[in-house]
Each structure stands twice: as C-alpha cells, then as structure tokens.
Structure 1
Amino acid sequence: MPHLEAITIHARRPVELARFWSAALGLPVDPADATAIAAGTLADHESVLLGLRDGLHVWVSPAGDLAEPVGRVHLDVRLDDEFGPQDLIELGATLVWNEPQGRWSVYTDPEGNRFCAVPATGKPCPAQRL
C-alpha cells in the first residue's frame, strides 16, 4: 500500500531553514547532519534530515531555482501550550493572516514558504482559503 514517506522543503539556505522547521515541527536534526553542521562540513548541495528515516521525516533540501510560493502544498502545524504563535515569530516566521474565528493563522517561514498554524483546539486549515 502506498504511504507518505517524507516531506521535502526546498530552500536557499537549508541549514538555516532546517533550524526553523526542526523547532516548529518538534523534529530533531539527524545526529549525523547535526555533527556536519556543527563542524561546517555539510556541503551546499546536501540536504538536512529532520526526524528519523524509519518514520515520517522531513528533508530540507537545497534548490537552485525556487519559484514564488503559490500554496499548492503547505504544512499545517498544530501548536500546543508549550509552543505557540510567538515562538513561530521568534524563530523567524511572519504572520500573513488570521482566520477571523481564530481557527488557524497563515504564516511564512524565513524563506517565504506559506504554512498554517492551528491552535490545539482549532480545525485544520482548508487550503482553498490561502
């Protein structure tokens, strides 16, 4: 049966964007990648792995050409009492729009990729609203 293996986020600066998404998704940077980042040996053409390969994971991968984000695919991030909207802002996210009833908010990550933040009691963000 087919299943979702991974999510890939293209980036101009994968190391910096990986730091953002690692914190926003609660997925640790793979230990080998963390070591390479700390040593300054992660090459410009290499991706950063968030999470574990044997489960759902996220790749932050370099891309030479990034088209303007148009919202074809985006992530919905469920926030909780430990990590809220202000934490996203402090990581470098930009608030774009708040749904009037407070069910979700649209943000961009530090490189302009749109995503929704859903409070712990909110409903998933319908993509057609973007």
Structure 2
Amino acid sequence: MALHWKLVIDCRDANTLADFWAAALGYAVEDPSALIQRLLADGQLPPAAVVAYGGGQRFGGLAAIRHPDDPFDGFTGVGQGRRILFQAVPEAKTVKNRLHLDLHDDGGDIEGLVARLEQIGATRVELVDQGPAGRWWVMRDPEGNEFCAAG
C-alpha cells in the first residue's frame, strides 16, 4: 500500500514562502482559519501562535499549499493529496539544498517561466545548457532555496 506524504521545507517565514510557492506552482494556500478559531476558543492554541496574514489568521510558524485539484478537508483546510508544508525554524539556510523542485513549462517557454518566477520573488543563479540533454535555469526562492526552471 502506498503511503500518504507531504514535502516539508524548513524556512524563516512560512507564510511568505507558502505564498511564493503557491504562485509559482499554481497551488492553493491552505486556509486554516476555521481550525484556528476553534483551537483558540477551546484554549488549545495560545494567541501568540497565530498571526494576522492576508486578511485572515494563519499559524505563525506553519503554512501549507496543496494542488488545487486534490481533495482537502473543508474545516481544517488540510490537503489530502499533493502538498507542501513550510515550517519556520530558528536557523538560517547555510548550504546548498540536498533536495529541490524542478519546474517545467509544458509549452517549452523557459524564458517566460523564468520571467514569471522573477516577478513573484525568485532570482536567477545560473543557466545550465547541456545541449541535447537539456537546458534550465538554477534559481532561488525568496529565502535562497535552490530550484530549477526548464522549458
């Protein structure tokens, strides 16, 4: 039986990074506001663990995104399919990622993809051109995590 999983990314600002990656991938940011309200009302969550963000409430150190076509729990907002969780940690990123995402534009428009990613906060690092084997840009998200963009 296959396991249910999510990718967890350590970061400094979970909500900002979730917004970036949701825009980059065309994913939906999970809305935990109903869950937060219940946890606060029941005294199970201290108010200090919640931040005002984007006109609503989110967890201060956690934010997640999900594929828009996958099922999700309507109350908690938690996706039940392809999902990325961003988790705030105290230490800054210091070395190259050992795991990264490759983003592909199915139409082959690598420059259009890279330009769109730059508009939402990514930066170009290096163009890799391996001839017939492929061509892609190594990029960084707003917190410096490397990923690749290819046409």
TM bracket, shorter-chain basis: 0.7 to 0.9
Q: Give the partner amino acid of 1:111.
A: E
* 1:79 Cα offset (Å): 2.4
Match of 2:119? Answer: 90
Does the alignment pair 1:111 with 2:137? no
SS class of match (1:41) = strand
* 1:37 Cα offset (Å): 2.8
CA distances 1:19-75 after superposition (whole Å, capped 9, x unpaired): 110011111101335x96334532423x11101421110111111113413121111
- State how many pairs are aligned: 117
Could you state the TM-score of these two structures normalised by the residue count of structure 2? 0.67
Distance 2:97 2:144 in 1: 11
Distance 1:75 1:61 in 2: 17
Greater per-residue strand proportion: 2
Please list, as runs of the form range in 1=range in 2, the aligned pairs for 1:44-63 lying within 5 A after superposition: 44-45=60-61, 47-51=62-66, 52=72, 53-63=79-89
Mapped contact 1:104–1:118 kept (Cα < 8 A): yes
Where does the alignment leave 5 or more consecutive residues of structure 1 unmatched?
120-130
SS class of match (1:58) = strand
Most deviating of 19-28 and 58-67: 58-67
Q: Give the partner amino acid of 2:145.
A: N
Identity %: 32
Most deviating of 72-81 and 83-92: 72-81
Most deviating of 76-85 and 90-99: 76-85
Most deviating of 81-90 and 10-19: 81-90
